[in-house]
Structure 1
Amino acid sequence: MKRDGHMESLWQATTGSRTTPSYNREPQPALTYDVVIVGAGMTGVTTALLLQKKGFNVLLAEAQNACFGTTGGTTAHLNTLMDTPYPTMIKNFGEAHATGVATAVRDALLHIRANISEYNIDCGYNIEDAFLYAQDDQQEKELEDILLATKKVGIEVEQSSDSPVPVPFTKGLRFPGNARFHPTRYVMPLLEEFIKLGGEYRDNCRVTQVEEAARLTIHTTQGEFFAHRLIYATHIPPGVNLLHFRCAPYRSYAIAVELEDEAQYPGGLAYDMYDPYHYFRTQEVDGQKYLIAGGEDHKTGHHENTETCFMLLEAYVRTHFAVKQVAYKWSSQYFEPTDGLPYIGLLPGANSDNIYVATGYGGNGMVYSHVAALTFAEMFIDKQSNLEKLFDPNRVKPVAGFASFVKESADVAGLLFSKLKPPPTLDTLADLAPGEARIVKYEGTKLAVYKHESGELFMTSAACTHIQCDVAWNSAEKSWDCPCHGSRFSYTGEMLTGPARKDLSDYDMQSAKITSKS
């Protein structure tokens, strides 16, 4: 199973024969689908199966392979404890709406459990308690606010003096009824069930253009398709959209380690309260237990040496655990919404009312993906959803999101102006070591240059094909990452993740010309 990075995740390495082959029938130009879903990750597959079961005729189109994006790189926590804490939700949206989110989260966890039971999915699912712990006076105050607000919205929580991890703390909270699982071993059987029910799945099928009308014309690398509705389940919608200024891209780092002492594997989900925070859990895969730890988050493209993030994370884990070996390490991307809640519903700026999106999950993608699936099912079947207004991508919350919106917009503007700064010239490549990369200037053009371990140079334009920000090198994942809106490209220039729609342009040294290749 391929993923959008150079490093292999635990889930990639252990999905095995559960990978579903592409199900590509000959195109049927006359057929109009009820719904086309773009992206076969957790959101796309869950939504596709749910709608197909409800009687919709669904096409699921994936540009690469199932779980290529964040689903293959998550740390897979299933929790009622959200990144945007309930005190913040109540302050920004009111107690009634915060209670609605809490209810949606509980329903999502029940839906996951129901899928596992109905389809007898072997994905290492286990119900666990989640623990949030404070380590100083300020965090204790925040913890007390979280306790009171969480009870208000109806989520089960209690004070706890025990923690599953050997990290010193002063006070803690326990959230019963959370869970963990193997995400790709959960998704692949759902995809198989979707196909069994008559749903059509196509991988290596990139959507290149959508003609808006009552009946959508969807252009892909496998031909044209027609649909009454389209859902972008691509983590962030492609093209240029208002949501790109309301969602900030972040990288998060994870390691899966084997411990010397079997008794040290934690029996729950644990989180500290720093920013960025550290988080821990155990997952047993094929008889082998792993401690999965994550953290060291930063904005995409804003860290000069991403390898150091893994080093810091590993050092932190070794401070508290007797590590036998680091079996896997990987990073992943998420999009942080400016006002703290995801955007699920009609795509802003669309000329028709039949294009939908689900994005801005923050660090709670496993849960919010199922919230999105259930919300879309209500919207399409009942013509409305209790959560439709709350998660509306067109919502405007000046108090809740204004400061973050201004900050992210200023960051993007600053990055665009930074293009005026002259980069090193081509002669600086003389000391470029194999495996290294650099932005350089040659014949008036900024180039993204990577030197392969074999000594071969790969040169592309340094301008992201989204809104022309300069990309930045991600040394850990060997990718060019856009610091403006999170588009990512391989060292050859192939587009890995949107919102860009095209690969980085090639550069021909002999003609000194940039050539678009997609």
Structure 2
Amino acid sequence: MRNDTNPKLGPTMRTRDGILQSLWQQTVADSLKPVKARDAGADDTWDVLIVGGGITGLTTALLLQEAGLTCAIVEAHTVGFGTTGGTTAHINTMLDTPYHTIESNFGTSGAEIVANAARAARDLIARNVSNYQITCDFEYKEGILFAQTEKEAAELEKIYTASLRAGVEVEPTNHIPVPLEFKTAISYHKQAQMHPLNYVYALADRFTSNGGVILEHTRVVGSKRNDDLHQIETTGRPLKSRRIVYATHIPPGLNMLHLRCAPYRSYVLAMQLAEGDYPIDLAYDMQEPYHYFRTHVIADVPYLIIGGEDHKTGHGTPTSAFQTLEAYARAHFQVSSIDYRWSAQYFEPTDGLPYIGKLPGADEDTYVATGFSGNGILFGSFSGLLLADLILGRENPCEKLFSPSRIKPVAGFANFVKENADVAYRFVSDRIGVEQLDALVELAPDTGAVVNYEQEKIALYKSPDGTISALSPVCTHAGCIVSWNDAEKSWDCPCHGGRYDVYGNVLTGPPRKNLQVISLF
């Protein structure tokens, strides 16, 4: 079982879906932890049950509660355990999918709708911070996107003009906040940043103070709809609700959205600089994958936060990604110390926009929000706005554009083919390309590998003291073979992004069941 009193973290430190600590875990305000919540009554029936205690679930629950509905949040681990605890908390109207791409896929009006949605999400966060007096270091910043080659400069011009057409506040600039050579740059106005865990814990405190229920360490393992009610099976007791929202970053089970969203991991360093020349604004280069930069001050200590080196979950070598990112940071900054390093997961939609609304193929009154790309804080907050309108029967101009049932045969088709061809490849190659171990002693301590052992494929982990944990390497979601994540000490599925700890317990969906334990002796 995963324990939220990891001795390395201290008795009040909250864990997240990786062994590496994020900057935010260390610095959550003491007044906001642990989550205070009453238990649910045996006969309670909620208007809405929200699965997932990250920014999406908490924002949705609080908005619905304020509208007069009764809500409960069910979280498999703890509030902020997933990507919310590992985000770098950039709040942008500049999006990972640039506006000229959105125009190409969804038209000029579609780009305008997306820009309005981004502003609405940013403003909701700012309003919550003000109304609830949340101390989360929320600050408005400029967001600087810069080109370093002629090719990037031509692409930047397209991004700039399309952003203007969409109604986004942006203008050219001659300065960037980081010490890198550049050719051209543009500045997006009124971007923002914050401490994400202080924000979501404050939302949780507000929600529970007003009578909301948060059931932590409770995993939803199934549901069916009878007599206009969802009968929800959990690892605790059964629950009942009129509607259900999956705010789990990707919905569980098997559905079409797993074919339309590809899982990626992004890597982050938080460091102190020898010369104290910290950037005052947000910055982004245009490399592929791109690097992102910002500064956060905690207890009077400034940290430069650099992220990048993204790759598909279960592919690549996470430790090498950290090494490459560190080399990049040291090449451009006078680094005094690297205090934190961590990675986080996101899902890339094939056509560039999130899927928010009714879950296709599911029971009536089942909703989902997924495919946020690298804009999770923004789109997680926007999801709350859109889902609240859908559940309350209010019109929203974004409903059709973000619908999970949208059919765009051209938009994103190339990405759809590429990502799903890759999934098919992993079913075959990962069953062939496993390591050969003649003896368990060959496995280094604190290391894992999928191996052939006595004519059987096994996911083996050897602890620092030499204890062996053996698991079936077959992901319980769709049957792909998991890969060892050497940085976060986890088993990661290369097909749909499911992740497990060294004992086979589910860390992140879509799988609902743990990996099968194998007895070697």
Contact 1:251–1:333 under 8 Å retained in 2:
yes
Matches within 5 A, 1:229-378: 229-262=243-276, 264-303=277-316, 305-350=317-362, 352-378=363-389
Q: State which drifts further: 44-53 or 382-391.
A: 382-391
Unaligned runs of 5+ in 1: 511-518
- Return the offset for 1:183: 0.3
Q: State which drifts further: 247-256 or 426-435.
A: 426-435
> Matches of 1:313 and 1:16 in 2, distance apart?
29
> TM-score, length-normalised on structure 1?
0.96
> Matches of 1:220 and 1:432 in 2, distance apart?
37
Contact 1:27–1:223 under 8 Å retained in 2:
no
Q: Is the alpha carbon distance of 1:444 and 1:130 closer, same or farther for their aligned partners in structure 2, counting shifts above 3 Å? A: same
- Return the offset for 1:18: 4.1
- Return the offset for 1:29: 3.4
> Matches of 2:433 and 2:403 in 1, distance apart?
42
- Return the offset for 1:105: 0.5
Contact 2:54–2:82 under 8 Å retained in 1:
yes
Q: Is the alpha carbon distance of 1:323 and 1:424 closer, same or farther for their aligned partners in structure 2, counting shifts above 3 Å? A: closer
Is 1:92 the counterpart of 2:97 in the alignment?
Answer: no
Q: Deviations over 1:191-211 (max 9, x none)?
A: 000011111111011111111
Provide the residue aligned with 1:11 in structure 2. Answer: 24
Count of aligned pairs = 507
- Return the offset for 1:385: 2.0
> Matches of 1:24 and 1:189 in 2, distance apart?
13
Matches within 5 A, 1:183-222: 183-213=196-226, 214-222=228-236
Provide the residue aligned with 2:451 in structure 1. Answer: 440
- The one-letter code sitting in structure 1 at the alignment partner of 2:122 is L
Unaligned runs of 5+ in 2: 1-13
Provide the residue aligned with 2:468 in structure 1. Answer: 457
> Matches of 2:516 and 2:54 in 1, distance apart?
27
Q: Is the alpha carbon distance of 1:49 and 1:27 closer, same or farther for their aligned partners in structure 2, counting shifts above 3 Å? A: closer
Provide the residue aligned with 2:239 in structure 1. Answer: 225
Q: State which drifts further: 17-26 or 123-132.
A: 17-26
- Return the offset for 1:91: 0.5
Match of 1:218, SS state, is: strand
Is 1:498 the counterpart of 2:512 in the alignment?
Answer: no
- The one-letter code sitting in structure 2 at the alignment partner of 1:252 is S
Q: 2:155 aligns with which of 142, 151, 167?
A: 142
Provide the residue aligned with 1:513 in structure 2. Answer: none
Provide the residue aligned with 2:498 in structure 1. Answer: 487
RMSD over aligned Cα, in angstroms?
1.2
Matches within 5 A, 1:45-60: 45-60=58-73
Q: Deviations over 1:3-34 (max 9, x none)?
A: 00010000011114244335554443322100
> Matches of 2:436 and 2:491 in 1, distance apart?
19
> Matches of 1:44 and 1:419 in 2, distance apart?
35
> Matches of 1:449 and 1:240 in 2, distance apart?
27
Q: Deviations over 1:399-451 (max 9, x none)?
A: 11211111111111111112441633441533211112111123443110011
Is 1:43 the counterpart of 2:56 in the alignment?
Answer: yes
- The one-letter code sitting in structure 1 at the alignment partner of 2:417 is V
> Matches of 2:471 and 2:181 in 1, distance apart?
48
Q: Deviations over 1:275-303 (max 9, x none)?
A: 10001000011211100000000000111
- The one-letter code sitting in structure 1 at the alignment partner of 2:332 is H
> Matches of 2:380 and 2:38 in 1, distance apart?
27
Contact 2:35–2:201 under 8 Å retained in 1:
no
Provide the residue aligned with 1:82 in structure 2. Answer: 95
Contact 1:53–1:197 under 8 Å retained in 2:
no
Contact 1:259–1:321 under 8 Å retained in 2:
yes
Contact 1:246–1:337 under 8 Å retained in 2:
yes
> Matches of 2:235 and 2:370 in 1, distance apart?
24
Contact 1:18–1:189 under 8 Å retained in 2:
no
Contact 2:231–2:240 under 8 Å retained in 1:
yes
- The one-letter code sitting in structure 2 at the alignment partner of 1:346 is K
Provide the residue aligned with 2:7 in structure 1. Answer: none
Provide the residue aligned with 2:5 in structure 1. Answer: none
Q: 2:479 aligns with which of 465, 468, 473?
A: 468
Q: 2:405 aligns with which of 382, 385, 394?
A: 394
- The one-letter code sitting in structure 1 at the alignment partner of 2:343 is S
Provide the residue aligned with 2:11 in structure 1. Answer: none
- Return the offset for 1:2: 0.7
